[in-house]
């Protein structure tokens, strides 16, 4: 049983945070497109970013700032233009946005982190940004998480938000998060933006280590379409406003905090996979019996990312051969006779042999998951065992529908 409870409030649930989201005129649609999260005090900052060689200006900006000093007060995110592959002018635009916000907040630009999402190759609309930042700061609120969550999305159908609370040192500690992502989603990192706030006091190196591990078990374990992006950013702030003793090394309290951080990230990651472009259901792949956790996750991610598996799920076809084939090409050694595959409660393959099962009932299970889209009942569970090892891991994805092609065929036209 989890040692925490879900609460409302998103990124403003932890003490000492305000947030806002407004329409600044960055998106052609006229929908909200500029978001801000601010800590009342300086916060320890950590980040995990895209591994792409083609990166947005905001990614390089954040990396440089976090490497020199892992402290921040604010996260500014624009939606509509990715400001990626925009050359030196894109870098100047990013720097100017930080300077404009710093002036409005009366802090130094070094305390601001940046994120962008939208069409690659398009610079931010600076005139709209210049006019929007004063309005954005004026809109900051201790209950502004939902408006911020709504202002960072692009092709998402729903905003993603979560907040959890636990007790450390007899004091309440909270972690909140918001995220966006729907297409171009694949591990390493997945194409997404996620912002996490925490009111515990944690040392910089430990907070970064916790976030990196949480990312591997969440955002780096989801896939929608096998594509990654230029702007992926996971940024987490910890401002110490809960007034708990500082956590500086691994131990019971650190493990408790990291477990809650991982739970927040996994909730947001699954919400992204569930909201995959054109998707009708969430797919969870659980792998056990591997040599170690990394091997298990690699098999799980390969299965979740298989276009053939995803297409079969959309067609409500319990074709276990595609699952077996994906597991076999994951570049993880295992003996075929140790392979077991289950779809929900249906045993499809065991000890290297096909098993008799009710194909119509298994197909109905897949149909039921699709009928529950955007609800907790929408999950298709694929369970795979590859041996007697202690390694286990999970990955999340979605089915592949006709609508995915339509959405992305018309993305800029």
β-bridge pairing 340-343 and 282-289: unpaired
β-bridge pairing 233-238 and 71-81: unpaired
Angle at which helices 293-305 and 307-314 cross, to 10°: 60
Torsion of CA 102, 94, 161, 187, to 10 degrees: -140
Residue 43 tokens, joined? 């916060």
Report, as residue numbers or ranges, the catalytic residues.
191
Query: How does DSSP assign 266-317, residue by residue?
Result: HHHHHHHHHT-TT--SEEEEEEEEBSSHHHHHHHHHHHHH-HHHHHHHHTT-
259, 389 contact by CB (below 8 A):
no
Q: Which of 3, 339, 373 is nearest to 165 (CA)?
A: 3
Q: Which residues contact 353 (CB under 8 A, 6 or more apart)?
A: none
Q: Which of 162, 161, 85, 160 is nearest to 116 (CA)?
A: 85
Torsion of CA 129, 135, 140, 146, to 10 degrees: -70
How far CA 284 is from CA of 113, 274, 310, 374, 397, in Å, comes to 33, 10, 11, 14, 7
- DSSP letter for 247, please: B
Look at the block and give the residue holding tokens 């298990």: 296
């Amino acid at each position: 049983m989890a040692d925490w409870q879900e609460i409302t409030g998103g990124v403003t649930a932890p003490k000492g945070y305000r947030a806002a989201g407004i329409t600044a005129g960055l998106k052609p649609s006229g929908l909200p497109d500029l978001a801000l999260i601010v800590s009342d005090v300086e916060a320890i900052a950590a980040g995990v970013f895209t591994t792409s060689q083609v990166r947005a200006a905001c990614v390089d900006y954040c990396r440089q700032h976090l490497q020199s000093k892992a402290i921040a007060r604010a996260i500014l995110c624009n939606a509509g233009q990715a400001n990626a592959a925009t050359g030196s002018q894109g870098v100047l635009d990013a720097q100017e946005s930080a300077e404009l916000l710093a002036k409005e907040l009366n802090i130094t630009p070094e305390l601001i982190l940046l994120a962008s999402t939208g069409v690659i190759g398009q610079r931010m609309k600076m005139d709209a940004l210049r006019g929007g930042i004063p309005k954005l700061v004026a809109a900051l609120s201790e209950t502004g998480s939902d408006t911020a969550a709504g202002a960072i999305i692009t092709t998402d159908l729903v905003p993603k938000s979560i907040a959890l609370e636990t007790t450390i040192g007899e004091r309440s500690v909270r972690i909140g998060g918001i995220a966006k992502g729907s297409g171009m989603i694949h591990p390493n990192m997945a194409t997404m933006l996620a912002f996490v706030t925490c009111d515990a006091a944690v040392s910089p190196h430990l907070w970064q280590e916790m976030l990196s591990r949480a990312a591997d078990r969440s955002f780096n374990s989801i896939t929608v379409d096998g594509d990654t992006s230029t702007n992926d950013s996971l940024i987490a702030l910890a401002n110490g406003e809960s007034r708990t003793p500082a956590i500086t090394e691994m131990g019971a309290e650190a493990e408790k905090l990291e477990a809650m951080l991982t739970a927040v990230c996994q909730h947001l990651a699954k919400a992204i996979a569930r909201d995959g472009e054109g998707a009708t259901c969430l797919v969870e792949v659980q792998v056990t019996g591997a040599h170690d956790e990394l091997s298990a996750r690699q098999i799980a991610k390969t299965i979740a990312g298989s276009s053939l598996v995803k297409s079969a799920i959309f067609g409500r076809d319990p074709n276990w051969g595609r699952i077996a084939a994906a597991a076999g090409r994951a570049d993880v050694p295992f003996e075929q006779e140790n392979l077991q595959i289950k779809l929900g409660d249906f045993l499809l393959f065991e000890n290297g042999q096909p098993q008799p099962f009710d194909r119509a009932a298994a197909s109905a299970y897949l149909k039921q998951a699709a009928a529950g889209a955007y609800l907790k009942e929408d999950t298709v569970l694929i369970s795979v065992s590859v041996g007697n090892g202690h390694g286990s891991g999970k990955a999340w994805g979605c089915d592949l529908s006709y609508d995915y092609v339509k959405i992305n065929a018309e993305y800029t036209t």
